[in-house]
Amino acid sequence: MSKIRTIMTSDEIIDTAFRKASKVKVEDKIHVFRLRKTSAARISSAADTIDTTTKGYVSSFPNFDAVPRFYFELSDLLIGVGRIKKSLGSLDWCRKTVKKIGDKGIKQIKRSRNEKFIENKKKEVYGRISSVVKQVSDDLLFLNTVREKLQNIPCIENIPTVVVAGYPNVGKSLLVRKISSGKPKIAAYPFTTKGVSVGHFKIKYRKYQVIDTPGLLDRELAKRSEIEKQAILALKYLGNVIVFIIDPTGHCGYPLDAQLKLLDDIKKTFNIPLIEVENKSDILKTNSDRLKISALTNEGIEELMGKVLGILRNLLANS
């Protein structure tokens, strides 16, 4: 997503517009004509500054009708997409109204040779323009807080994605590092202080994404608040396949029963393909049918990637 511009207050926008307009001068030997031309040009300058500023704010926000579903869901959860659209619509109304007031005032000024009328009309137009901008004061303040909140939504590419899940210390972050072609980046994520770890890898020129979700898919949903659950559910619009890692050794600090309960939770919650993996096979191999890997020694990693790519390629072929 493109970076959203810092949004000024209504008073700052008005001050900027009128300060810039005050520097505009149009020369004419006849005083009344000079006054008329300068007044019209200053109104035009002020209106243009407000138009450009507010239009720039609106265009710097993402088009919520075209963003990936994952980004839309998190934006709606954090702030409310409907409310954002309403405030952006108010800015659009503001700039159009200011332009209309300015154009009408300029026409009236250009038809007059009365200096007092010209000066009073310019003051009147400035006053009406200020009033319109002040009507969207709350929208400007709100959109500036929205800008800050949207920065907490991870900028994750809309490409085939693997989500790695499991309790803490089962080896998720090590697996993400092992299969990523570069160092995974940490991206902010709402309702978790840890963020998500995002890595990438390429197979035959196609780029894939792998994500570790500390603080999200690492404990039972029953222990979550409603808003945390919604943030977790947004992941279903991001991931194409889940790799769920189990530590059968118990070295992670969580009993196997708890890990299997979380696995069952995720199966019920996410209607996407899931691969069950037992990590730390260099220490312990159980008799289960799950794929055995060691993120430490690379044992089983190639087989795991074969399964992952098989699912992703099948999804791409049918999309």
Q: Cα–Cα distances in Å, from 14 out to 30, 66, 134, 215?
A: 31, 32, 9, 44
Least confident among 79-93, 132-146, 201-215, 239-253: 201-215
Q: What is the pLDDT of residue 81?
A: 96
* 109-135 as b/e: b if 16+ CB within 10 A: beeeeeeeebeebbeebbebbbebbbe
C-alpha to C-alpha distance for 21 and 149, rounded to whole angstroms:
34
The pLDDT score that the predictor gives to residue 102 is 97
Distance CA 170, CA 183 (A): 20
SS3 content of the chain, % helix, strand, coil (to 5): 55, 15, 35
Average pLDDT (33-39) is: 94
pTM above 0.75, yes or no: yes
Domains of the chain: 10-150 (1.20.120.1190), 161-318 (3.40.50.300)
Please, how many CA atoms are within 13 Å of residue 246, restricted to the half-sphere of its CB? 24
| C-alpha span between 108 and 123 (Å, rounded) | 13
CA dihedral 224, 273, 195, 84 (to 10 degrees): -80
pLDDT at residue 193 in the model: 62
- Measured N-to-C along each axis, helices 137-150 and 115-135 cross at an angle, to the nearest 10 degrees, of 40
Residue 167 tokens, joined: 């309790």
Instruction: Give Cα 235 distance to the centre of its chain.
Output: 14
Residue 1 clears pLDDT 60, i.e. is over it: no
Joined tokens for residue 262 = 């979380």
Give dist(CA 18, CA 47) in Å, integer.
Answer: 9
The answer to whether 219 and 167 are in contact (CB under 8 A) is yes
pLDDT of residue 4: 87
Looking at residue 191, its pLDDT comes to: 66
- Give the pLDDT score at 21: 97
Task: Give 75-133 pLDDT, tens digit per residue.
Answer: 888 899 999 999 999 999 999 999 999 999 999 999 999 999 999 999 999 999 999 99
- Does pLDDT of 212 surpass 80? yes
Report residue 71's pLDDT band, with 50, 70 and 90 as the boundaries.
confident
Q: Residue range 291-313: average pLDDT?
A: 91
Does residue 227 carry a pLDDT above 80?
Answer: no
Q: Which of 180-194, 210-224, 293-307 has the highest mean pLDDT?
A: 293-307
Angle at 228 between CA 223 and CA 232, to 5 degrees: 100
Burial 239-266 (b: 16+ CB within 10 A, else e): bbbbbbbbbbbeebebeeeebeebbebb
